[in-house]
Structures are given as C-alpha cells and as structure tokens.
Chain A
Amino acid sequence: MKTKSVPGKFGIYGGRYVPETLVPALEELEKSYMKLKKDKNFQKELSYLLKNFAGRPTELYFAANFTKKLNGPKIFLKREDLLHSGAHKINNTLGQALIAVKMGKTRIIAETGAGQHGVATAIACAVFGLKSEIYMGAKDVERQQLNVFRMEIMNSVVHAVESGSKTLKDAINEALRDWIANVNDTHYLIGSVMGPHPFPTMVRDFQSVIGKEIKKQMYVLTKGLPDAVIACVGGGSNAIGTFHPFIEYKDVKLIGVEAGGKGVNTEYHAATISKGRTGIFHGMQSYFLQDNNGQIREAHSISAGLDYPGIGPEHAHLHDTKRAFYPRVTDKEAIKGFLELSKTEGIIPALESSHAIAYLMKNANDFKKDDNVVITVSGRGDKDLQIIQKFIKETSFS
C-alpha cells in the first residue's frame, strides 16, 4: 500500500494540526517512541508489566451459550474486561507512562470521559511515581463520582472542566491548553488513537497487543484466522488494536461498531463515520460531527466511552478504502446486548463493548454457521450498572 509513505498520515487523514508550541514536544515524543519501540529493554519492561501487573494475555473464550442462542457463527470473546482496571485502556497507559519516564517527564496529564482512561492513567502513574492530573468534563464528574474517587485515591488530581459542553471533547481541549503551558516537563497521555501524530500510531501499537493475541489464540483454537473481528468504536483504540494485525488479511472482515445513540436521524448520536464529514480537530484530520460551518457538534451515547464527535484517523482511512466497515447500534440495542451476554454467559460487558455484541445479535444471519467471529469485550460493565438500572426503571425494558 502506498498510503503509509508519510509518517503519521493514513491516506489523507491524521497529521499534526497544533499550535507551534506543541511541535517540539510532539517531535521529541515521536523520536523517543521510534527509538524505544526498537529498544529490547523497553519492550521487556513493558511486557513484564503487561503480564505481571495488568494480567496479559487475556483469554479468548469460546462463548458456547451465546453462540447457541444466536444460532449464527461461532463466537469468541476477547476478554479485555479481565485486565487490571477492567478495560483495555491500561495497555496504552502503561506504555505511554513508561515512555514519559524514559523522556524524563515528571508530570502526566490526561483527559477522560467516563473515567476509564483517567483511572488507567492514575494506575500507571502510581506504578511509576509520576504526578498526574486528569481533565474531566464537569458533567462527567457529576455522572461518574465513583471513578473520580478512584482516581483521587490513587493520588491523581481531577479537574472538572466547565468550558464548552463540559464533556470529553472539552476535557481534551483543556488538557491541550495545559500541555501548551507546561510542555517542558509534562507528557500528555492521550487515551485513544486520536490527536496529533505520533499519538494515533503509538496508541495503536500499544493496543495492537489485543489483535496479536487474538491471532495466536485463534490459531490454537481453530487452526486459522477469524472470519470477522468486531469491536466498538469511539475514538477507536480497542477497535484498531483488534483490527491492526488483520488488516493485511483481506478475508478477515473488520467491523467497527459506532454508537447510534437515540438514532442517527436524531441529534443524539456519536456516529462519526455515518454522519460526520472530513475536518480538522484535536490535532488531526479525520471525520467529525460538525455543522455546515465547521463548528464541532456534541456527541451522544449512553456509553460515555463512545461519546466523542470524532474518530481516529486510521479508521477514517480504513473506511474510505472500504477495508473496514462501520455500522452503528443504538443505545437501546446496546442495552439488549449488555443484558443478553450477562444472562447467557455470565459476563457483564461494558456498555461500550455491548455495541459490538448487539451488532452481532442483529446480524447473526449475515454469517455462515461455521464462521468464526471474534468480539472484543473492551471492558467490564460494573461501571454501567447504575445506568442500566435507571434505563430499565424508566423504560420498563428488560
């Protein structure tokens, strides 16, 4: 493929659209990362932590009950929910925190939506003894008190962001502003495959451990590659981590499920690929939800982790080249997926991951019975129980 010729570009997407003050920091980060990527000691240190601290590799579990229930393809679950902290985010935070240490940075900042990336950042910073400050939209702080408390217990300072829509995109704005002011001693630990180069590439590399393990484990279980891999997409880090090792195998279908919220014909969704258009935001060129004038719109999803009006640039490129497919699933469908997996398998998935599960529930007939399909369960659903409880009460849904 001719598309990777410029570092940081995925076709026309990606790049580095930032105030000049940040350029030296991004160049330094790119250089350090390229060097450390090939450094055996760095890889050893990271592998040690991923194995002994975070709990890798995670299981690839054949979901026999769920398979029987859907009467479709054979379903395998990649259990990122079993990781320490309860989600895939820690694959990235441990990697970036270790890079920050090697670069001599003493302070970490991060954004968080529901708090999953914030918690994973707090954990990584506790491991390395780094100062950490987490930006979180004021609305999210209110909705996710328990996660705020988790971060604080691990010695992170949480800033409630009162600007703009007071949610994830504003938390990112505020983290970028902090970084501009403190660029010399601070590393901005971005939580998804987004932002200016090298973040989309670096975060993808850290998350690709998911897909690499799937590939090996599938070989052991089925002696072949999966026919499809499915993951939910907000910014898109667990999805790109799942997809990446399979991109070169054209027969493996890559399915990234976006949050359809209350429906893509309402204003309340986060279906960036379906309903957004090309633009430049948060340091990158990609697809964004925006109005005709280029003002960024607010996203909506019942799962805070998908509640972002953009998507990582590599996904934008995989979409344009038709290598990956980006359908969407509504809030209600996601909740059905959440409940169904809990009932049939005794696994309570994160609401984010439930989008991927719901997609297969809706489309099981698109697959042959002997197809092997992997769903990445990016996180566990304990954090979502209150939301589910409220939803069931309000809608008499079950």
Chain B
Amino acid sequence: MKEKINKVISKFSDLRKNNEKALITYVVAGYPDIDTSRLIIENLIEHGADIVEVGIPFSDPMADGPIIQKAFAHALEKNVTPDDCLKMINLIKSKYSQVPILVMTYSNIIFSRKDAKFLKTAVSCGVDGLIVPDLTFEEAENYLKVAEDLNLATVFLAAPNTDSKRLAKITSISTGFVYMVSVYGITGSRNQFEKYTFDSIRRTLTTTSKLGKPLAVGFGISSAQDAAKMIEAGADGIIIGSSLTKIVSDFSDDKSQMLKSLGAFIEQMKRVCKITN
C-alpha cells in the first residue's frame, strides 16, 4: 500500500526535526456547549497543542471513564449532533489550517450512516484523520479503503497486551500514528503508572519505529511528570484527554478562568515535550 503524506504524519516529522515531541489534546465537542468547546480548542492551539483530537459524543462510550462519559452525556442532553461537531471543526480549520485535527468517536457514529456519509462530511469539514477505539483491524477493511480514497489519516490503538503480530498489522494500517493505550483500563487519570506501562511502550516502539510510524501514548496522563516519563520511555507524542475535560468541568461556571487554567496546564505539558534528550 503506497501512502500519501497526510497532515498528521508531516506534523510528526516537522516536530522531530526540531527535536520535539507531539502534544496531542483531546476535547469533547459540545462540552459544555459547541461554542465553548471551539474556544477551548483554539485556546489549546494558541498555548501549544500540536494536534487536536475532537471527541464526538456517543451515547455509550465503552472505553471511556466517568469524566468523558459525563461530558458526552451532557453534550447529548443539549442535542449536540455529529454534524454540529464537524461544523465546529470547519470553523477552527478556517483559522488554524496548519493544525491537524482528528475525530475520535465510536464505530456506530461513523458506520450507522450509509455510503461513508460521515467520513465524506468529515473530510469536507477539514478533518485530517480518525481514531475509532472500538474498531479492530479485522473489521476495518471497508473503512481503510474509504479512508485511503479520502486521504484521511487512520489511527489504530495498541494495548499493553497486544502481541507483536497484531502490533505489526496495527502499525502498518495506521497512517497517522499508533495510539498506545498506557494501561489496562479506560480513560481517566491514574494515581500512578506501573512498570508494565513503560515496558509496553518500549516493546511497542521496536515495531512502530521499525515501520517508521510515530507512537503516541494516552489514557490517564494527568501531570507533566507522567508525560515526562512517557517521553523518557520513548513516546513520540503524548495524548491528554480526561485531565483537560476535568478542568473544563471544574470551571464550568467561569469560562475565563477555565481557559486560563487550560492554557497554563498545556504550557506545562508543552515544556515537557520540548525537552528531549
């Protein structure tokens, strides 16, 4: 399979030239409302986010912990639709065309509409790639074809218990990066990461680097110390999701304080991503 260069992969190579790691931020679209989530994303970009993941709410997010579950439920109560989320991405893209934006959502949102309608709309709104946490490569044949036609970057997930055979397959079909799930578990912060997390990052890297694909680590990273440890283990990028969502939730009555806190948090993370070796 010959691969066209997509925005996600070129972002990683730009960062690598500057000896930087990718700071990837995950934001739930429509939480606390569509306009505010757009401001949140623009604010994160201004403070140093390299790549943005936009979570499109789904009624039953099986890989997500309580923080993101609540944010999804809140957005759905306000009738936020996938189209609203894609339109929001379109607005952000008109200002920040150079920042890769990936959609992260569950299979049913993407596949329950016929003829790849969701994917086509996503591309027309400027989406650069997709992450589907409940899609395994066995079930991805059609999706990969459409994604290739639309030049959408694909990101598949690898877990601590993924064997090297599966990992090779996952890496080869991920045209954006490989998303390493740091732990046995769902999204949300951990008090502490165990040794197996770092062992699995190192093990996964031997495959991803051989195949020339970036490896970003996510699930439960809530502090600069956590991020530094992932980077030390060799990650090409770190993904921050629930801890950002928690800040949004904690400051839901005070938007300016919310944006300030998010900015400060992301700048801290950014510093970690810049200090390498």
Contacts and interface: CB of A to CB of B under 8 A. Distances in A.
Contacts of B5: none
9 contacts: A15-B139, A17-B136, A164-B69, A177-B63, A177-B65, A181-B186, A278-B112, A293-B81, A294-B110
Interface string A155-185: 0000000011000011001001100111110
A31 to B, nearest CB: 13
Contacts of A279: 108, 111-112
B19 interface: no
Interface of B: 58-63, 65-66, 69, 73, 76, 81-83, 106-113, 133-136, 138-139, 156-163, 166, 170, 181, 184-186
B60 A20 contact: no
Nearest to B166: A23
Interface string A169-212: 11001001100111110000000000000000000000000000
Contacts of B106: 280
A177 B186 contact: yes
A20 B158 contact: yes
Interface string A230-265: 000000000000000000000000000000000000
Nearest 3 A-B pairs (CB), nearest first?
Answer: A294-B112, A21-B159, A280-B107
Contacts of A173: 60-62
Interface string A256-293: 00000000000000000000011111110100101001
Given A24-B162, A163-B66, A183-B184, A16 B108 contact: no
Contacts of A296: 59-60, 108
Given A21-B159, A24-B162, A293-B82, A16 B138 contact: yes
Given A21-B160, A280-B107, A280-B108, 11 more contacts: A17-B107, A20-B162, A20-B181, A23-B136, A163-B73, A173-B60, A183-B184, A282-B62, A293-B81, A293-B112, A294-B112
A20 B157 CA distance: 6
Given A20-B157, A183-B161, A281 B184 contact: no
Contact of B60 (A24, A164, A183): A164
B52 to A, nearest CB: 22
B163 A24 contact: yes
A280 B105 CA distance: 12
Interface of B is mostly: loop
A280 B133 CA distance: 12
Interface of A: 15-21, 23-24, 163-164, 169-170, 173, 176-177, 180-184, 277-283, 285, 288, 290, 293-297
Contacts of A15: 138-139
A24 B161 contact: yes
Contact of A16 (B60, B136, B184): B136
A218 to B, nearest CB: 39
Given A20-B156, A23-B166, A24-B161, A164 B138 contact: no
Given A20-B157, A279-B108, A295 B58 contact: yes
Contact of A290 (B81, B107, B112): B112
A372 B73 CA distance: 50
B112 A277 contact: yes
A295 to B, nearest CB: 4
A182 B184 CA distance: 7
